[in-house]
């Protein structure tokens, strides 16, 4: 009887309900394909458990921060429904109190549901870093750390203020070590490869093996040059980290595991804190993370996953944690075990489900996975058939990007907005985003990049700094000025700002009496408070009667402070200018103040340095800010600072549009396959489906049936199964490669994974190349060649709607026009580095 059901169970199918409502001491495993509602089950189970007992506290582990955020929202709204159902006077009281407290703030504010505080959600990394900080005093005493410290001369105490370094820091450390050995190391060897080998060393150490004794990873094979190098660098790398109170991502996991193994009382505390554990995307849990889950579990445990979506074996994940789960947890004190299979796919249309199943079923591994196979074969698409997925050949990366953007624009134009609202462009490697970004910028399509380190220019410290630079560059920029004057805080309050504003207007009026040029900018007016300006003695305004003495003091002090900056701005390159701004305005101190932790501070500092790095590229072109005492309006001069700020504006505008737009406005979402995990989109463009990209050249070298190639296939499967309604897969017939001699292009062939979809269409692709019309459609896929060369008389027709894409020619013309700006923006993207 559904009327009796709690709201969080409404709409779930019987298997889902079974998984959600398992008794609270059960260890449950849910195995099911993409889009079957695994994440939904996990979310509902959290809400269900909270209802069982007010003492229950829950830890939910997700794979990305974004997933954690989304789950938090979901849980919150389910709890709200629950609260609404159980009218509870204390609950109301609570929300009433909080609401009154906040009554001065956001009018849309409503109190969080009562039970929300009993749920912690995060990634393995974020949870571990919390646990380590809580137990900061014990860190140095951990056996592995104590061992490393013995050999590390500069090691200080490791404490709870440790900073977490990311991959770019790791690379920096390794690069320094490599530079010290210059000459001995071929340039072919990349720091990342060494880091992977170091990660393996850590893994071995954590499992009680001694890689130093065996001299390398594999006992049977002789150690490779890289693994020897890694063994040599490892102690130095550790020392560098320990000397600076830093941990890398792996350390977070390994040390937490060690902490829990060493100290039973901490384990007990954590069992107290979190009585129930739930883990999403369990197929990507590493051996060590599995240990952690076991150590943390005291009450119930729910894991959900899909072996076919396991895509992190390079990081030590093994789908067997999902498949051998029962053996793993055999004899665990907390109760009985249960496996639930989900058989319905709620996400994708049946055409997409079929195509994705074809791709993954050709998998070697899957043949042995009988349970998983069973699910795939029996997986029932719950949605209609929908349009067929399509495969499109493109001349090169530019054509590919333009094709994608063109389709999106066409849809927007034709008002076919429902399917365009939710568009994802998914690619194998980060580098592929650049062409897509450029095409989006050219076509004025707002876009966002998912994943970490995306919105560089949106970070607080960067925005503040840019604001200051903009004001220095253009003294008339009032909105930048208003922000720059009060950040960092320097005793200039609202009253002083108002008075200063009045003073500026007054000075302008005074000036206009004397001359016809645009007159002093607010910046000049401010400078006039502490001495002569670029107008020399000609300009002096008397603040008496306008500025009160209380305002005059901080304003004059600020004027004095920026005086030297403005002087230098006329001579120094941007990068140096930034250094001067930092030291004059004590920006690092400011960053420290606005940071909640040392790691946050270090991140802000690193971002500032990255901005300097970015500015460096703008100094080669000449002196900053034109001539000394530059005439009239600085902003009219084309200077490196001006160019730099222009390019930054180009990118930030797009980001602004994306961010500030309400939910209804259209934004293209760009991401790697890895970042797309667990998400879903109405329309998915999977780009770069050629051998050498997906699968990677490395995986192809390993050969048919190899672990690497199988993983690439699963990546393809994950990407395809993100699509709800429409799936387009493009590939590039030509790809540039970068060598020491310069850029070359190499011919590519369509990804082998798509052979099962478009075998027959191969000939069509060739036809298309010869200029014949090419619009054949296949049962599960269509192949087209999309070339820039096509002339207006030969419009390209694409699939389904047979829409004519003659608009493409005009797009080409536009793109040629935009070439200049695109070259400028390319320069900009170079430094906007993005991590997976």
503 binds, among Mg ion, ligand ATP, none (CB under 5 to 8 A by kind): none
| Stretch of residues binding ligand ATP (CB under 6 A), selected from 5-13, 88-96, 136-144, 394-402 | 5-13
Question: Hey, which bits of 346-428 come out as E strands?
Answer: 380-381, 390-394, 422-427
Cβ neighbours of 142 (radius 10 Å): 22
Binding-residue pattern over the window 60 to 99 for ligand ATP, x denoting contact by CB under 6 A: ----------------------------------------
Binding-residue pattern over the window 30 to 49 for ligand ATP, x denoting contact by CB under 6 A: --x-xxxxxxx---------
DSSP for 558-625 reads HHHHHHHHHHHHTTS-HHHHHHHHHHHHTHHHHHHHH-SSHHHHHHHHHHHHHHHHHHHTTTTTS-TT
- Residue closer to ligand ATP by CB (options 11, 488) is 11
Strand 797-798 to strand 803-804: parallel, antiparallel, or no bridges (unpaired)?
antiparallel
Q: Work out whether 392 is an interface residue with ligand ATP (CB under 6 A).
A: no
Torsion sign, CA atoms 510, 514, 518, 520: negative
Size, binding site for Mg ion by CB under 5 A: 3
Q: Work out whether 16 is an interface residue with ligand ATP (CB under 6 A).
A: yes
Residue nearest to ligand ATP (CB): 37
- Residue closer to Mg ion by CB (options 35, 316) is 35
520 binds, among Mg ion, ligand ATP, none (CB under 5 to 8 A by kind): none
Torsion sign, CA atoms 785, 787, 789, 794: positive
Burial call 520-552: b when 16+ CB within 10 Å, e when fewer: bbbbbbbbbbbeebbbeeebebebeebbeeebb
Cβ neighbours of 324 (radius 10 Å): 13
Helix (H), strand (E) at residue 485:
helix 478-486
- Residue closer to ligand ATP by CB (options 250, 280) is 280
Strand 276-279 to strand 58-61: parallel, antiparallel, or no bridges (unpaired)?
parallel
- Rounded distance, CA 539 to CA 528, Å? 7
Contact residue for Mg ion among 387, 678, 768, 781 (CB under 5 A): 678
Min separation Cβ 682 and Mg ion, Å: 17
Binding-residue pattern over the window 627 to 666 for Mg ion, x denoting contact by CB under 5 A: ----------------------------------------
Does residue 331 have a known ligand-binding role? no
Min separation Cβ 38 and ligand ATP, Å: 3
- Rounded distance, CA 340 to CA 297, Å? 19
Please, which of residues 518-577 interact with Mg ion by CB under 5 A?
Answer: none
Q: Rg of the Cα trace of the chain?
A: 30
Please, which of residues 270-309 interact with ligand ATP by CB under 6 A?
Answer: 306, 309
Does residue 37 have a known ligand-binding role? yes
Q: Which residue has the tokens 């902003």?
A: 635
- Residue closer to ligand ATP by CB (options 280, 365) is 280
Q: Is 615 left (phi over 0), alpha (psi -120 to 50) or beta?
A: alpha
347 binds, among Mg ion, ligand ATP, none (CB under 5 to 8 A by kind): ligand ATP
Size, binding site for ligand ATP by CB under 6 A: 19
- Residue closer to Mg ion by CB (options 582, 680) is 680
- Residue closer to ligand ATP by CB (options 307, 449) is 307
Q: Contact 117/134 with Cβ under 8 angstroms?
A: no
Question: Hey, which bits of 343-460 come out as E strands?
Answer: 344-345, 380-381, 390-394, 422-427, 447-449
H, E, C per residue of 526-539: HHHHHCCECCECCC
CA atoms within 13 A on the CB side of 246: 22
Does residue 554 have a known ligand-binding role? no
Min separation Cβ 214 and Mg ion, Å: 39
Whether the upstream peptide bond of residue 488 has omega within 30° of 0, thus cis, is yes
Does residue 34 have a known ligand-binding role? yes
Min separation Cβ 529 and Mg ion, Å: 60
Q: Contact 735/746 with Cβ under 8 angstroms?
A: yes
Residue nearest to Mg ion (CB): 39
- Residue closer to ligand ATP by CB (options 12, 758) is 12
Whether the upstream peptide bond of residue 834 has omega within 30° of 0, thus cis, is no
Binding-residue pattern over the window 669 to 688 for ligand ATP, x denoting contact by CB under 6 A: ---------x-x--------
Q: By three-state DSSP, how is residue 774 classified?
A: coil
Does residue 599 have a known ligand-binding role? no
Min separation Cβ 372 and ligand ATP, Å: 12
40 binds, among ligand ATP, Mg ion, none (CB under 5 to 8 A by kind): ligand ATP
22 binds, among ligand ATP, Mg ion, none (CB under 5 to 8 A by kind): none
Does residue 36 have a known ligand-binding role? yes
- Rounded distance, CA 209 to CA 222, Å? 17
| Stretch of residues binding ligand ATP (CB under 6 A), selected from 6-14, 82-90, 620-628, 775-783 | 6-14
Stated length of the chain: 836
- Residue closer to ligand ATP by CB (options 119, 718) is 718
- Residue closer to ligand ATP by CB (options 217, 669) is 669
Q: Work out whether 422 is an interface residue with ligand ATP (CB under 6 A).
A: no
Does residue 268 have a known ligand-binding role? no
Binding-residue pattern over the window 694 to 723 for ligand ATP, x denoting contact by CB under 6 A: ---------------------------x--
> C-alpha dihedral over 372, 373, 378, 381, to 10 degrees?
70
Contact residue for Mg ion among 22, 39, 652, 730 (CB under 5 A): 39
Contact residue for ligand ATP among 6, 7, 9, 11 (CB under 6 A): 11
Please, which of residues 313-352 interact with ligand ATP by CB under 6 A?
Answer: 346-347
- Rounded distance, CA 574 to CA 584, Å? 15
- Residue closer to Mg ion by CB (options 255, 671) is 671
| Stretch of residues binding ligand ATP (CB under 6 A), selected from 7-15, 443-451, 647-655, 760-768 | 7-15
- Residue closer to ligand ATP by CB (options 16, 480) is 16
Q: Contact 113/7 with Cβ under 8 angstroms?
A: no
- Rounded distance, CA 693 to CA 828, Å? 24
Helix (H), strand (E) at residue 717:
helix 707-720
Query: Within its chain, how far is the Cα of 479 from the centroid?
Result: 30
7 binds, among ligand ATP, Mg ion, none (CB under 5 to 8 A by kind): none
Q: Which of 428, 377, 393 is nearest to 758 (CA)?
A: 393
Min separation Cβ 36 and Mg ion, Å: 9
Name the binding residues: 32-39
Q: Note the residues at the interface with ligand ATP (CB under 6 A).
A: 11-13, 16, 32, 34-40, 306, 309, 346-347, 678, 680, 721
Q: Which residues carry a binding-site annotation for ATP?
A: 32-39
Footprint of Mg ion on this chain (CB under 5 A)? 38-39, 678
């Amino acid at each position: 009887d559904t009327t009796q059901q709690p709201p969080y169970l409404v709409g779930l199918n019987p298997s889902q309900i079974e998984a959600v409502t398992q008794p609270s001491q059960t260890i449950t495993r849910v195995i099911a394909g993409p889009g079957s509602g695994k994440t939904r089950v996990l979310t509902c189970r959290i809400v269900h458990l909270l209802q069982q007992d007010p003492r229950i506290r829950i830890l939910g582990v997700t794979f990305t921060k974004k997933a954690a955020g989304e789950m938090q929202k979901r849980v919150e709204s389910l709890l709200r429904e629950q609260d609404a159902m159980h009218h509870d006077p204390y609950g109301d009281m609570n929300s009433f109190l909080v609401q009154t407290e906040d009554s001065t703030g956001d009018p849309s504010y409503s109190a969080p549901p009562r039970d929300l505080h009993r749920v912690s959600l995060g990634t393995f990394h974020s949870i571990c870093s919390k646990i380590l900080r809580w137990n900061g005093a014990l860190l140095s005493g951990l056996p592995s750390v104590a061992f490393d410290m013995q050999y590390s001369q500069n090691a200080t105490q490791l404490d709870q203020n440790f900073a977490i370094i990311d991959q770019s820091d790791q690379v920096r450390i390794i690069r320094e070590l490599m530079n010290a050995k210059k000459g001995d190391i071929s340039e072919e060897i990349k720091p990342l490869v060494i880091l992977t080998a170091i990660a393996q060393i850590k893994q071995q150490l954590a499992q009680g093996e001694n890689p130093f004794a065996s001299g390398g990873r594999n006992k049977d094979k002789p150690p490779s040059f890289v693994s020897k190098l890694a063994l040599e660098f490892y102690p130095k790398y550790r020392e560098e980290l320990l000397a600076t109170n830093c941990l890398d991502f792996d350390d977070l996991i390994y040390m937490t595991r060690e902490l829990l193994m060493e100290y039973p009382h901490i384990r007990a505390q954590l069992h107290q804190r979190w009585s129930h554990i739930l883990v999403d995307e369990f197929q990507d849990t590493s051996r060590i993370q599995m240990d952690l889950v076991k150590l943390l579990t005291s009450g119930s445990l729910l894991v959900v996953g899909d072996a076919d979506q396991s895509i992190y074996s390079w990081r030590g994940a093994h789908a067997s944690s999902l498949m051998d789960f029962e053996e793993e947890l055999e004899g665990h004190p907390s109760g009985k075990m249960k496996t639930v299979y989900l058989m319905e796919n709620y996400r994708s249309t049946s055409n997409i489900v079929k195509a994705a199943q074809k791709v993954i079923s050709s998998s070697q591994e899957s043949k042995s996975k009988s349970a998983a196979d069973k699910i795939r074969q029996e997986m029932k698409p719950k949605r209609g058939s929908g349009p067929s997925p399509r495969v499109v050949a493109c001349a090169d990366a530019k054509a590919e990007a333009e094709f994608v953007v063109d389709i999106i624009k066409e849809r927007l134009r034709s008002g076919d907005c429902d399917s365009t609202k939710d568009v994802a462009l998914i690619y194998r490697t980060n580098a592929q985003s650049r062409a897509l970004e450029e095409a989006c910028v050219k076509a004025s399509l707002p876009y966002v990049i998912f994943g970490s380190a995306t919105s560089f220019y949106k970070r607080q410290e960067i925005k503040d700094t840019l604001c200051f630079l903009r004001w220095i560059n253009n003294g008339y920029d009032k909105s930048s000025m208003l922000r720059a004057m009060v950040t960092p805080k320097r005793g200039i309050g609202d009253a002083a700002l108002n008075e200063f504003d009045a003073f500026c207007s007054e000075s302008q009026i005074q000036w206009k009496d004397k001359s016809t040029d645009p007159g002093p900018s607010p910046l000049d007016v401010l400078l006039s408070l502490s001495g002569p300006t670029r107008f020399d003695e000609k300009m002096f305004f008397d603040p008496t009667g306008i500025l009160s003495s209380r305002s005059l003091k901080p304003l004059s002090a600020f004027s004095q402070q920026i005086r030297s900056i403005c002087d230098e701005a006329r001579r120094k390159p941007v990068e140096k200018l930034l250094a001067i701004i930092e030291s004059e305005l004590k920006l690092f101190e400011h960053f420290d103040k606005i940071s909640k932790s040392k790691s946050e501070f270090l991140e802000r500092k690193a971002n500032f340095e990255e901005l300097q790095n970015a500015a460096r590229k703008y100094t080669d072109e000449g002196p900053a800010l034109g001539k000394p005492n530059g005439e009239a309006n600085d902003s009219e001069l084309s200077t490196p600072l001006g160019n730099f700020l222009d390019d930054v504006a180009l990118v930030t505008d797009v980001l602004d549009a994306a961010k500030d737009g309400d939910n209804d406005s259209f934004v293209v979402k760009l991401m790697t396959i890895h970042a797309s995990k667990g998400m879903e989109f109405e329309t998915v463009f999977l780009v770069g489906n050629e051998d050498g990209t997906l699968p990677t050249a490395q995986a192809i070298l390993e050969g048919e049936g190899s672990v690497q190639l199988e993983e690439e296939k699963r990546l393809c499967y994950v990407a395809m199964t993100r699509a709800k309604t429409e799936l387009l897969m493009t590939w590039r017939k030509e790809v540039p490669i970068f060598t020491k001699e310069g850029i070359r292009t190499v011919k590519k062939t369509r990804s082998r994974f798509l052979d099962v979809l478009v075998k027959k269409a191969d000939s069509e692709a060739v036809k298309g190349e010869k200029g014949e019309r090419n619009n054949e459609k296949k049962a599960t896929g269509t192949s087209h060649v999309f070339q820039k060369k096509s002339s207006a008389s030969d419009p390209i027709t694409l699939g389904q709607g047979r829409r004519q894409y003659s608009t493409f020619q005009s797009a080409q013309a536009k793109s040629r026009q935009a070439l200049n700006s695109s070259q400028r923006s390319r320069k900009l993207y170079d430094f906007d580095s993005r991590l997976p």
